[in-house]
Amino acid sequence: QVQLAESGGGLVQPGESLRLSCAASGSGFSINTMGWYRQAPGKQRELVADIISGGSTNYADSVKGRFTISRDNAKSTVVLQMNSLKPEDTAVYYCKADIRDLNGRTFRYWGQGTQVTVSS
């Protein structure tokens, strides 16, 4: 019932920037929280940043001051602006949306993932 379309990943050098976008599509749902997680090889998926409808945000300590998350509720879109990228940011980044269906049930949906590689 819901699909998340991600874009913006790629290969950049340290200190450069990328912008990740994620748009939710479908019907019969509302979105509580949207955000981004990442997973590096051999590691668990971790929160990068998320944002609720009211605008409150959460960031991993490792990205505070460098990444900014924003949201367009009308377009069901979340954007992660990533500045001053470091090699440690290299991972597959996954869009996440916490969804409520028409019956009031909650579900977590994931995008397919987009690769971010930071390397010199």
pLDDT 10s digits, 40-78: 999 999 999 999 988 999 999 999 999 999 998 888 999
Question: What's the pLDDT at 53?
Answer: 86
What's the half-sphere exposure (Cβ side, CA atoms, 13 Å) at 14? 5
Averaged confidence pLDDT in the chain? 95
Nearest residue to 49 via CA among 33, 38, 60: 60
Percent of the chain whose pLDDT exceeds 70: 100
What's the half-sphere exposure (Cβ side, CA atoms, 13 Å) at 37? 17
Residue 113 has pLDDT above 90, yes or no: yes
Tokens 């290969």, located at residue: 11
- CA of 23: how far to CAs of 71, 73, 109, in Å? 10, 10, 12
First to last CA, the chain: 41
For residues 110 and 72, give the distance between their C-alpha atoms in angstroms, rounded to a whole number.
18
